[in-house]
Structure 1
Amino acid sequence: MRAIECVRKATIRDIPALKQLFRETVLSVNRQDYTAEEVADWASCGENDERWEKIVYFYYTLMVEDEDGHVLGFAALSANGYLNSMFVHKDFQGQGIASTLYGFMERRARALKVSAITADVSLTAYPFFRKLGFVVEKEQSYPANRLFLKNYKMVKYLEYDEE
């Protein structure tokens, strides 16, 4: 188990590490719920550098590192509350990294006063999001590159104290 050393904003220089974490996680962790062909197609979406540049520049993108500077996970949230990404390194699942990232994302969403956080959630991540209080809006077929993968459009409505 690695200790979380820091949570910080991702930069353009972090893209190679984010791409690698994404690819390795999809190919191994998501294999429990998707076929080899599906995870290969999904992982290939991470080869698009322009996609990563948009995530780093236009989303609130945080990454978690350990004391040695290894990336343990990352998440990206839009200004309107769409959780574009949340991935944890394949070797560090179940160690609180996703919960830590989600905490930062929800605080950011609240600071922006969005009414809800939405996400397109894989079959693999579904139990985690349910525990956080997300509900399914609909089951969907989501496009990867060549294939459409089953996932869920989920939402968590944020409540605010009246002032």
Structure 2
Amino acid sequence: MKIRHFKTSDAKDIADLFHRSVHAISTDVYSPEQLEAWSPSPPDYTMWTERLERMRPFVATIEGVVIGFIELESDGHIDCLYVHPDYQGRGVAKALFHYAKNAAIEHGCQTMYVEASKVAKAFFLKMGFEIQAENRVIKNHQALINYSMSGSLTS
């Protein structure tokens, strides 16, 4: 696995990965309507290209295939961390997280923070984050629960 900076040619693959990752979440966790609200079908490739050009995520690949990505803002905010369903449970999220954490430290951040989904909450707890609040977010007329979480980079 290699981790590198985003290239414009990654945009469609990342949009598809995001969509597949969201729709692979068990409907015991989020309803089909919530999953569709979170990631409407089909993906909006124009919106994703514009977003990714602005966010410039780190991208994990295996033999040139995009298998995950993480968006890190300059203040330590993680906006997205997604791994292709076929590669989940193989350390991809952890590798992306540590890559982003090192970048945040290099940029002088003292903390990282995220709004984690119900599924991602356990991962961020394992990475040393603490829950600050439970949030109810309305997206495309559906209520989604996520968690404001943060973790120190100085300890």
TM-score, normalisation: structure 2: 0.91
Q: 1:50 aligns with which of 44, 47, 66?
A: 47
Q: Distance in 2 between matches of 1:42 and 1:140?
A: 15
Please list every run of 5 or more consecutive structure 1 residues that lacks an aligned counterpart in the other structure: none
Deviations 1:29-81, CA, capped at 9 Å, x for gaps: 35441111100110129526335423x333341111112x2211000100011
SS of corresponding position for 1:138? strand
SS of corresponding position for 1:125? helix
Residue 144 of structure 1 is matched in structure 2 by 139
Q: Which region of structure 1 is more displaced relative to structure 2, 79-88 or 151-160?
A: 151-160
Identity among equivalent pairs (%):
25
Matching of residues 93-112 of structure 1 within 5 Å: 93-112=88-107
CA distance change for structure 1 residues 11 and 31 in 2, over 3 Å: closer, same or farther?
Answer: farther
Residue 62 of structure 2 is matched in structure 1 by 66
- Verify: 1:91 aligned to 2:86, yes or no: yes
Q: Distance in 2 between matches of 1:8 and 1:73?
A: 11
Q: Which region of structure 1 is more displaced relative to structure 2, 107-116 or 26-35?
A: 26-35
Please list every run of 5 or more consecutive structure 2 residues that lacks an aligned counterpart in the other structure: none
Residue 21 of structure 1 is matched in structure 2 by 17
CA distance change for structure 1 residues 121 and 140 in 2, over 3 Å: closer, same or farther?
Answer: same
Residue 78 of structure 1 is matched in structure 2 by 73
Instruction: Give the aligned residue type for 2:66.
Output: V
Number of residues paired by the alignment?
Answer: 154
RMSD of aligned alpha carbons: 1.8
Q: Distance in 2 between matches of 1:156 and 1:126?
A: 12
Q: Distance in 1 between matches of 2:101 and 2:27?
A: 28
SS of corresponding position for 2:90? coil
Contact map agreement 1:25 1:90 (CA 8 A) in 2: yes
